[in-house]
Structure 1
């Protein structure tokens, strides 16, 4: 990656220079609050689905329904990813974000009211998950593509790093906060999410700069094909996002945490909150380590190592019978995931030109959505067959196998060196 100049001169400005960019600060705030809210909503819906299903169904059947939330959220992302990327490269990106946040505010409010009134059901949760997926399909590419428009070119490398940090820290804090909130009640988690989405929308409204990209020539279909062709040709981009897809698709043990908390470790909602904090603990420690010791060389090897450790920690979690050993395994899992995600996101954004960012981000988002939401579905299906413990172990073994296979299939990704 060393052939990409980090700025207009030979030096990279300090992070303090970003503090002078008013619009970027509001953007960073909306990126963080929106991601934080989405994490809380996702965790709360999984816990509530399992609690509702266990009233009348077995452990295996209830775990399967938890996985169905992931499938319901993923299908709209898959179906809408190409038009969402094209929209991010054609329309005002700020307006796209506001429309998405409005949809999320209304859907989570409906879910909160239904929970308070006692109307919540597995069917309602699946409908809300589908609406949530449709909104995030358009939110992700517009959000990713907007950030670089709000800073001078010389600050772009710093902005990319801080964009990643916003998403990563929200992914750290969100599940941990959700575990604590659902221990109190599901409606508490939903109303908190509602407030966070509202803050995110206000921050978007505070951005004054131009958010409409330069007009791209060609029809919508031509632009969508161009985005797909670019991702396919850039083997570092394709290898990085597909590695994440298959590794997390197989190793999505965190989707089964409600099952483990209630019927494997028998620790209830309080224990669920502690388990949910496990990945956050590990990810926080690794994030702090990366801040003090940024990766300078052999970035590709670091990413592959992170995915491999992620798989091994998933196996350890599945086999554990102790709450604290499970928390330790989840902490290692979270730290390894943080390492691989940091490298992947930085690599992808650095090699993508600005006029392609929306479409590349949309393709990346469908891969990420597949890894997370379809990973939940895969875990639910396998848990229906092998039970929750067997599903976790199976997923961990699969993640390790994918790491070895991708290291062979994508040598350029394995040899990626500097994150500059």
Structure 2
């Protein structure tokens, strides 16, 4: 039997999973993602049933994005100033209370508040708003905490891929579970399941050992300088800026997820269970691609592959908008997930590889403004355009704009177009 060499160990697809704290972190994150994905599907279904208005679905994204963006830069400063595990625990506690509130609002007593007047959905949007604040603090903390669980940078690429894979795997199960729970047990029980998963996530995060903050570089910065340092870092790095801008506008214009309840009910006529499958289809594609990239990581010509993947995302989005067949729609949503997974992993690799440890919270906060909240703002854009021009036209418009963004980025961003992520190329940057 041959003895494994250091080189072969570096290519072990399970290397990061052999680290106990990293495994516990991933398990907690799976529970958290399952909970939030179930909750997101259920609240979209509930609000659509209450209002029958595509704009109301778009407002869900806006209600979450506004507070998340509002706190992001300060949250990044906090993530680089306070132990990151403490921030994660506090954010999960807040999300747990939000889930309890939604569960109560779906009970007979809570439903009496949702009377049919001008403000009958306001309590639901208020809970979404508070959860947006918690997620605004959660994003920079989890992003910067994950690399601290690794013994060295050799595990980073593998850890990023597994981090994405587990998130997508939970995203596959979450909507499917949520659709099943709505169809068979009702909205209140679906919210209760989300609440229990958040409680489990809190317990699991508690078992992960805390880590000290990375040492700061240079003189101590005042609050304003510290908050703005993440923006200055990204603005001065053309490679990261181009990748973030590409993903921002692609997600902003190309997302059809916010309108899936309308496609499920009015166009494809598959009901709540079918909605769960539609929601899960992109995540199935994402998790399969992420698993493939665990064995065959994107390195050579990564920039070109990223551009082609985002273009594929736009084309699949247009095809989904025009489809009236459930199986074709599921296939096209599956392909959007496949292409999106490439974008997510390349962007995460860029951020983790080229960002100093002591800046990761603040840089992640800017990333959250660019990308994390673009999903919610994209939902608002989709809902608004759908109300003005119709659902199908809205999604076709979004996919077309994604293709335009890819073409402009390919023309203007030479560094991204020629990006390689081979070890030799990364060392030369």
TM-score by length of 2: 0.89
Which residue of 22, 25, 30 corresponds with 1:24? 22
Q: Distance in 1 between matches of 2:370 and 2:47?
A: 25
The aligned residue for residue 148 of structure 1 is 147
Pair 1:105 & 2:108 matched: no
Pair 1:186 & 2:187 matched: yes
Offset at residue 143 of structure 1 (A): 0.5
The aligned residue for residue 374 of structure 2 is 371
Q: 1:297 aligns to what SS in structure 2?
A: coil
The aligned residue for residue 209 of structure 2 is 208
Aligned pairs for 1:109-120 (under 5 A) are 109-117=100-108, 118=111, 119-120=113-114
Pair 1:272 & 2:275 matched: yes
Over 3 Å counting, the alpha-carbon distance change for 1:346 and 1:325 in structure 2 is same
Offset at residue 160 of structure 1 (A): 2.9
Q: Distance in 1 between matches of 2:205 and 2:292?
A: 31
Pair 1:77 & 2:75 matched: no
RMSD: 2.0
The aligned residue for residue 297 of structure 1 is 300
The Cα offsets for residues 75-125 of structure 1, whole Å up to 9 and x where unpaired, read as 011111110000000001111011100110001111011102224542122
Contact 2:14/2:158 (<8 A) preserved: no
Over 3 Å counting, the alpha-carbon distance change for 1:181 and 1:214 in structure 2 is farther
Q: 1:173 aligns to what SS in structure 2?
A: helix
Q: Distance in 1 between matches of 2:90 and 2:68?
A: 16
Contact 1:112/1:191 (<8 A) preserved: yes
Which residue of 264, 267, 287 corresponds with 1:284? 287
Q: 2:339 aligns to what SS in structure 1?
A: helix
Offset at residue 283 of structure 1 (A): 2.2
Which residue of 305, 318, 323 corresponds with 2:321? 318
Q: Distance in 2 between matches of 1:19 and 1:322?
A: 40
Pair 1:128 & 2:131 matched: no
Offset at residue 10 of structure 1 (A): 9.9
Unaligned 5+ runs, structure 1: 1-7, 55-61
Q: Distance in 2 between matches of 1:203 and 1:94?
A: 12
Pair 1:351 & 2:342 matched: no
Over 3 Å counting, the alpha-carbon distance change for 1:283 and 1:183 in structure 2 is farther
Offset at residue 44 of structure 1 (A): 1.6
The aligned residue for residue 32 of structure 2 is 34
Q: Distance in 1 between matches of 2:156 and 2:277?
A: 37
Over 3 Å counting, the alpha-carbon distance change for 1:281 and 1:163 in structure 2 is closer
The Cα offsets for residues 169-214 of structure 1, whole Å up to 9 and x where unpaired, read as 3333333333333333222321121111111111121122424343
Over 3 Å counting, the alpha-carbon distance change for 1:10 and 1:412 in structure 2 is farther
Contact 1:145/1:361 (<8 A) preserved: yes
Q: 2:367 aligns to what SS in structure 1?
A: helix
Pair 1:43 & 2:44 matched: no
The aligned residue for residue 50 of structure 2 is 52
Offset at residue 15 of structure 1 (A): 4.7
Contact 1:86/1:359 (<8 A) preserved: yes
Over 3 Å counting, the alpha-carbon distance change for 1:172 and 1:304 in structure 2 is farther
Pair 1:175 & 2:175 matched: yes
Contact 2:302/2:420 (<8 A) preserved: yes
Over 3 Å counting, the alpha-carbon distance change for 1:411 and 1:172 in structure 2 is farther
Offset at residue 152 of structure 1 (A): 1.4
Q: Distance in 1 between matches of 2:183 and 2:39?
A: 14
Over 3 Å counting, the alpha-carbon distance change for 1:126 and 1:258 in structure 2 is same
Structure 1 runs of 4+ aligned residues shifted over 4 Å read 8-11
The Cα offsets for residues 254-305 of structure 1, whole Å up to 9 and x where unpaired, read as 1100011111222221222232232233223323332343223111111111
Stretch moving more, 258-267 or 94-103:
258-267
Over 3 Å counting, the alpha-carbon distance change for 1:48 and 1:65 in structure 2 is same
Which residue of 397, 402, 406 corresponds with 1:399? 402
- How many residue pairs get aligned? The number is 406
Q: 1:404 aligns to what SS in structure 2?
A: helix
Pair 1:361 & 2:359 matched: no
Q: Distance in 1 between matches of 2:329 and 2:160?
A: 34
Stretch moving more, 285-294 or 238-247:
285-294
Q: Distance in 2 between matches of 1:103 and 1:419?
A: 41
Offset at residue 230 of structure 1 (A): 0.1
Offset at residue 49 of structure 1 (A): 0.9
The Cα offsets for residues 315-342 of structure 1, whole Å up to 9 and x where unpaired, read as 1111111222211211111211112212
Contact 1:97/1:139 (<8 A) preserved: yes
